[in-house]
Amino acid sequence: MAKRKISAIAIVLILVVIVSVMILIASSVPLPGVKRVGVIEIYGYIESEEVRDNVVRMIDYAIKDGSIKAVVLKIDSPGGWVDAIEEIYLNLLKLREKKPVVAAVVGYGASGGYHIAIASNFIYATPTAMVGNIGVIGRLPYRVWPSELYVETGPQKLTGFSEKEFYFKIQEILERFINAVREQRENKLLIDNVEISKGLIYFGADAAKNGLVDNTGSSFDAIEKAAELAGIKEYEVVVVNSMLREDYSSAEFRSSLLTLADLDRLVPPPAFHYVYLPTAAEKPKIYDASTGENMGENVMVPEVKERGNIVLVDYSHNNMFHPLELNILLSELVKRGYTLRYAGKGENLAEKLEGVKAFLVIAPWDAFSGDEIEAVKKFVEDNGKLLLITDPSREYARAINSLSADFGAVFANGYLYSLEESYGNYRNIYVKDFREFTVTKNIQKLVLFTAAHIYSNGNGIAFTSDKALSSEGEKQMKFSPMALAHENRVLAIGDFTFMTEPYCYIESNFQLVANVADFLTGD
């Protein structure tokens, strides 16, 4: 009796499975003559081969299914990996050649999400959808140190890119993005390339006004428009994702915003992304030359034993640089009969300053104490030289300003940029206007990388063009990222990168390093 009961249950289960399969097949196979509008849902980040390939598979399905007469792209995506976005975009253009394509931005249509949308014949966006953010995030390759265990055949074999030229590669990608927008939006677009390259996000209503999208509306409006373009009045609506029975976006990609660390994990450097990444602004500024992490605790700092021809370097305030980055400056100091020594944590700064020629402070994270400030002031009053360097890509200005303000120089928050003239990237600014001082001799043009400007009560010695802007004030004017103060014994510079390789070999940057060495060792 029990066996019969089990057999009956098994038969019922088999019948249920068969009926379910038949229903699924029936739902995906249209009746003869039935016309369909296919909806492809593109949600979340596109930062993996799996996500890319599943979207491409849906596009291919829509191309080959003769019952699908038009396609709606329902987009809620902040973009992703450049290669993946370009693959999807190019395949959508193939789809558009065969069938009308209408996009509906219902959340994010940002960066790569917008790049996908422009492949359509018509774009809708809900009034407060986030549209635009046209631009690129590029991750430089890690710096590689030579090894005798592994032998490569060329200087870029392991990284694939020259660090110095990497900015121009990113600019090439940006230009391709902008060109694609202009090609697809044609005369509908009412903003120029400078405005586009800012990377701004527009609400859907504003995007419709400036031509980034065609109109405000919902995914229902997009379906009706797609049917109209296809010339069909009676149709079914099918979700292609469901027909393929795939949920291509992982929960991780859909439920939260990614971070820079996530990008490195998903697509190891060097990498390029068309992606909106607001979490990048929240990352603490902790720096290392090779990995982006602070190495202060792990660096051995030699003690100052001998006196005389010494330039003392502060390494006691969690400074955001590695001593290896000072090699070019060190080589210039050695030519002049000087060398570098470091003041480490827990040491008495006043004692360390005794008998040295100059004091160099670079990118401190921790503020100076009152006693330390008094010690440095006394050092300068006794004819010592002081060089103060900040770098907005490494640290905030508050710590160095705790010292610099006593010498009449205040480093501004944020960084300088130019959307009209730059070295490969908007943050790499040209400095061409100089006052005549030893520090500026024989300099025609500098390139500074993510530099801060300096408030110095008229003591600026190098200036940007009047087309430069500040990221904090967003004001266009002439700025000074270099200043001399306190009877020309205190030099303040708003960038450190120019002093490091390979950036010191661009334009007159090396001459500035040599002039800085003259300043530190001169009378």
For 154-170, the pLDDT digits (tens) are 888 888 888 889 999 99
Q: Is residue 376 domain-shared with residue 322, that is, in the same domain?
A: yes
Domain endpoint, select from 252, 282, 312:
282
Give dist(CA 184, CA 364) in Å, integer: 48
pLDDT at 290: 45
Measure the CA dihedral 175/176/179/180, to 10°.
-150
Q: Is residue 157 domain-shared with residue 304, that is, in the same domain?
A: no
Q: Is residue 80 domain-shared with residue 161, that is, in the same domain?
A: yes
Give dist(CA 229, CA 520) in Å, integer: 72
3-class secondary structure, 49 = helix
In a domain, 302, yes or no: yes
Q: Give the residue with greater pLDDT, 302 vs 193.
A: 193
In a domain, 71, yes or no: yes
Given a cut of 60, is residue 45 above it in pLDDT?
Answer: yes
**Torsional class of 56: left (φ above 0), alpha (ψ -120 to 50), beta (otherwise):** alpha
Give dist(CA 79, CA 139) in Å, integer: 16
Mean pLDDT, to the nearest integer, of 2-18?
A: 59
Overall domain count for the chain = 2
Write out pLDDT tens, residues 269-326: 999 999 998 876 554 454 544 444 444 444 454 444 445 699 999 999 999 999 999 9
Given a cut of 70, is residue 16 above it in pLDDT?
Answer: no
Q: Is the peptide bond before 268 cis (omega within 30 degrees of 0)?
A: no
pLDDT at 305: 45
Task: Copy the structure tokens of residue 224.
Answer: 């009706």
Q: How does DSSP assign 126-166, residue by residue?
A: -TT-EEE----EEEPPPP----SSS--SSTTTTTSS-TTTH
Those residues whose C-beta lies under 8 Å from the C-beta of residue 389, and which sit 6 or more positions away, are: 360, 361, 362, 363, 400, 492, 493, 494, 495, 496, 499
pLDDT at 362: 98
pLDDT at 394: 93
Mean pLDDT, to the nearest integer, of 255-278?
A: 86
Q: How confident is the model at residue 139 (pLDDT cuts 50, 70, 90)?
A: very high
In a domain, 163, yes or no: yes
Q: Is residue 117 domain-shared with residue 208, that is, in the same domain?
A: yes
In a domain, 27, yes or no: no
Q: Residue 412's closest CA among 421, 423, 420, 404?
A: 404
Give dist(CA 304, CA 415) in Å, integer: 35
Mean pLDDT, to the nearest integer, of 34-43?
A: 96
pLDDT at 475: 84
- Side-chain half-sphere exposure of 386, counting CA atoms within 13 A: 29
**Residue 415 near residue 427 (C-beta atoms within 8 A):** yes
Q: How confident is the model at residue 10 (pLDDT cuts 50, 70, 90)?
A: low
Domain endpoint, select from 253, 282, 311:
282
Q: C-alpha distances in angstroms, 138 versus 166, 204, 413?
A: 9, 27, 24
Task: Copy the structure tokens of residue 452.
Answer: 């801060």
pLDDT at 458: 85
Q: Is residue 62 domain-shared with residue 172, that is, in the same domain?
A: yes
Q: Is residue 229 domain-shared with residue 377, that is, in the same domain?
A: no
Task: Copy the structure tokens of residue 455.
Answer: 């408030």
Token pair 């009308």 is found at: 100
Given a cut of 50, is residue 419 above it in pLDDT?
Answer: yes
Q: How confident is the model at residue 500 (pLDDT cuts 50, 70, 90)?
A: very high
Q: Is residue 423 domain-shared with residue 475, that is, in the same domain?
A: yes
Give dist(CA 100, CA 122) in Å, integer: 9
Those residues whose C-beta lies under 8 Å from the C-beta of residue 86, and which sit 6 or more positions away, are: 115
Give dist(CA 311, CA 487) in Å, integer: 19
**Phi, psi for 366 (deg, rounded to 5):** -100, 145
Given a cut of 90, is residue 33 above it in pLDDT?
Answer: no
Give percent above pLDDT 70 in the chain.
Answer: 86
In a domain, 289, yes or no: no
Q: Residue 104's closest CA among 42, 34, 187?
A: 42
pLDDT at 375: 97
In a domain, 290, yes or no: no
**Residue 494 near residue 481 (C-beta atoms within 8 A):** yes
Q: How confident is the model at residue 2 (pLDDT cuts 50, 70, 90)?
A: low
In a domain, 94, yes or no: yes
Q: Is residue 268 domain-shared with residue 300, that is, in the same domain?
A: no
Report, in angstroms and rounded to the nearest whole number, the Rg of the chain calculated over CA atoms: 30
The whole-chain average pLDDT of the chain stands at 89
Q: Is residue 255 domain-shared with residue 303, that is, in the same domain?
A: no
Give dist(CA 466, CA 222) in Å, integer: 46
Beta-bridged to residue 271, according to DSSP, are 139
**Residue 482 near residue 468 (C-beta atoms within 8 A):** no
In a domain, 106, yes or no: yes
Three-state secondary structure readout of 290-313: CCCCCCHHHCCCCCCCCCCCEEEE
pLDDT at 31: 53
Measure the CA dihedral 449/401/329/343, to 10°.
-140
pLDDT at 116: 99
pLDDT at 474: 82
Q: Is residue 213 domain-shared with residue 333, that is, in the same domain?
A: no
CATH number of the domain where residue 456 is located = 3.40.50.880
Beta-bridged to residue 467, according to DSSP, are none
Q: Is residue 270 domain-shared with residue 300, that is, in the same domain?
A: no
CATH number of the domain where residue 206 is located = 3.90.226.10
Beta-bridged to residue 288, according to DSSP, are none
Token pair 């399969």 is found at: 21
Tell me the residue range of the domain where 319 lies.
296-521
Q: Is residue 145 domain-shared with residue 185, that is, in the same domain?
A: yes
Write out pLDDT tens, residues 356-390: 999 999 999 999 999 999 999 999 999 999 999 99
**Residue 116 near residue 88 (C-beta atoms within 8 A):** yes
Domain endpoint, select from 282, 308, 327:
282
Those residues whose C-beta lies under 8 Å from the C-beta of residue 2, and which sit 6 or more positions away, are: none
